[in-house]
Copies of this chain bind each other. A is one copy, B any other.
Amino acid sequence: MLQLTKRTEYGLIALSHLVDRRGEFVSVREICERFPVPRRLVAEVLKDLCRKGLVESQRGATGGYALSRPAESITVGTVVGALEGEPRLASCHVGDHPAGDPCDVAGVCPIRDPILRLRIEFWSLLERMSLRDLVREPARLPVGAAPL
């Protein structure tokens, strides 16, 4: 299914708020007062992002989370990768099977390589958008890109 999980959506929303309040530690409570998002779930997501090193945490009263790096250097792709793994697109991608789950078609699959190309292009899209870009919305939707 070509859809981000709710966890990822909430993660991006939370992170965009951290960008707005750059430097300061922001509590989950504050985020949930600003956006109608389920508190506990957002908390779980931020914990994950903390384990992955995208944010830093501070415990206790007045604690919270803050970006561990400048917003420019954290991409949407990094966030997606941290929360749901690098997008695979297909189940038959070489090197993705450290243990099990090798696609039956693997050896003779006629679409493995083309799909892999799409995957790389898609990943590149995600990597080219940073949290900074997420916040400073450009005026208009861009169109087109280099042809495949």
Which of A's residues lie within 8 Å of B, judged by CB?
A: 1-6, 9, 12-13, 16-17, 34-37, 76, 80, 84, 87-92, 104-105, 108-111, 113-118, 120-122, 124-126, 128-129, 133-135, 137, 141-148
Interface contact B144-A109, CB-CB below 8 Å:
no
Provided the pairs A3-B88, A4-B90 are in contact, do residues A124 and B108 lie with their beta carbons within 8 angstroms? no
Contact (Cβ within 8 A) B118 A3? no
* Bound-complex Cα distance A126 to B121 (A): 10
| Residue from B76, B126, B141, B147 in contact with A128 in the complex, judged by beta carbons closer than 8 Å | B147
Quick one: closest B residue to A88, CB to CB?
B3
Q: How far is the CA of A78 from the CA of B16 in the complex (A)?
A: 33
